[in-house]
């Protein structure tokens, strides 16, 4: 059995991939073209522009009150599944890339609250009556598609450049804790800012390091900083811009090369 058929059978029979994941063989190339994974598309990013990539798992068309066709898709990567909404104009432009199940696509758009599948927000009075141990369900979100590139036309999808902020929670201690930090940052010179978070007399103080110590945020830097402090103290935050689209799927004017037909 061919590897692709084996993976497809595993997914259909078990609901998950057992021996491998279809995206693993293109992971590095795909990572260079996106800035967000499915697990990170949460309510915290509502109103922000993101670019994700993955496999088309479902494609459902609906007819609007005006008689236009729009659609909802499920996009899966190695971290999870997100919903993507295609308003009528985006549906017309990008449906060919999305209609083939298991197709690999890259989608750019605006994160918005889901209007169909999410649980309605409870009134304040009801919220106050929730048991202390009961966790509120995360707010459902959707990605409003503004540009789509299928894998065959990925050469038309320019790598996305995003600024990052590197946060370091410096463990409590004396000044010697930051000894050698300059050398660590110098090994990873780049364009991203570093914020150091200290605890001083029980309060948190944040300091931004000088411009000449900007770094290239990433796994290598995080590993180096965590090793330097002897604990997991580093997190890298991607700074995503506010989406410019108006939520109606008409964003392809800025990304004309992202049409499904590769024009």
For residue 130, what pLDDT is reported? Answer: 44
Token duo for residue 36: 């967000």
For the chain, the 3-state helix, strand and coil shares in percent, each to the nearest 5, are: 30, 30, 40
Residue ranges matching CATH 2.40.50.140 in the chain: 32-158+242-258
- In CATH terms, is domain 32-158+242-258 a member of 2.40.50.140? yes
For residue 5, what pLDDT is reported? Answer: 59
For residue 12, what pLDDT is reported? Answer: 54
Token duo for residue 200: 């001083």
Token duo for residue 55: 């496999």
Question: pLDDT digit of tens for each residue in the chain (263 aa)?
Answer: 455 555 555 455 545 454 556 888 888 899 889 999 999 999 999 999 999 999 999 999 999 999 999 999 999 998 999 999 999 999 999 999 999 888 999 999 999 998 754 333 333 443 444 455 556 677 899 999 999 999 999 999 999 888 899 999 998 765 667 788 999 999 999 999 999 998 877 788 999 999 999 999 888 999 999 999 999 999 999 888 898 755 554 433 334 445 444 33
For residue 245, what pLDDT is reported? Answer: 57
For residue 207, what pLDDT is reported? Answer: 92
The contacts of residue 133 (CB under 8 Å, 6+ apart) are none
**pTM: predicted TM-score of the whole model, two decimal places:** 0.70
């Amino acid at each position: 059995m061919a590897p692709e058929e084996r993976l497809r059978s595993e997914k259909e029979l078990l609901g998950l991939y057992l021996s491998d994941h279809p995206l693993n063989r293109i992971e590095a190339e795909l990572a260079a073209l996106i800035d967000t994974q499915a697990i990170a598309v949460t309510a915290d990013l509502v109103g922000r522009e993101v670019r994700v990539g993955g496999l088309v798992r479902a494609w459902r068309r609906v007819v609007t009150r005006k008689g236009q066709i729009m659609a909802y898709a499920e996009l899966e990567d190695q971290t999870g599944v997100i919903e993507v909404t295609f308003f009528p104009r985006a549906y017309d432009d990008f449906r060919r890339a999305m209609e083939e199940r298991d197709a690999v696509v890259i989608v750019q758009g605006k994160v918005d609250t889901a209007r169909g599948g999410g649980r309605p927000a409870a009134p304040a009075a009801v919220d106050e009556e929730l048991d202390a141990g009961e966790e509120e369900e995360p707010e459902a979100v959707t990605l409003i598609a503004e540009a789509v590139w299928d894998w065959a036309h990925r050469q038309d999808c320019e790598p996305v450049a995003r600024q990052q902020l590197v946060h370091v929670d410096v463990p409590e201690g004396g000044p010697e804790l930051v000894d050698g930090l300059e050398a660590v940052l110098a090994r990873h010179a780049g364009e991203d800012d570093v914020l150091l978070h200290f605890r001083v007399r029980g309060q948190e103080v944040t300091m931004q390091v000088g411009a000449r110590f900007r770094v290239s945020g990433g796994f290598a830097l995080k590993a180096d900083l965590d090793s330097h402090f002897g604990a997991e103290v580093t997190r890298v935050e991607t700074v995503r811009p506010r989406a410019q689209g108006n939520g109606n799927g008409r964003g392809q004017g800025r990304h004309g090369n992202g049409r499904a037909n590769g024009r």
